[in-house]
Amino acid sequence: MPLFTYRCTNCDQISEILVRGSETPTCPSCGSADLEKQASAFAAKVGVGTGGDSEPACPSCAQAGACPFN
Report pLDDT for 48. Answer: 53
Predicted TM-score (pTM) above 0.85: no
Q: Which residue ranges make up each domain of the chain?
A: 3-62
For the stretch 10-64, pLDDT in tens is: 999 999 999 888 889 999 999 999 999 998 666 565 555 555 555 555 555 555 6
Residue pair 49/55 in contact by the 8 Å Cβ criterion? no
Q: In whole angstroms, what is the distance from residue 50 CA to residue 48 CA? A: 7
Q: In whole angstroms, what is the distance from residue 4 CA to residue 29 CA? A: 16
Q: In whole angstroms, what is the distance from residue 47 CA to residue 55 CA? A: 7
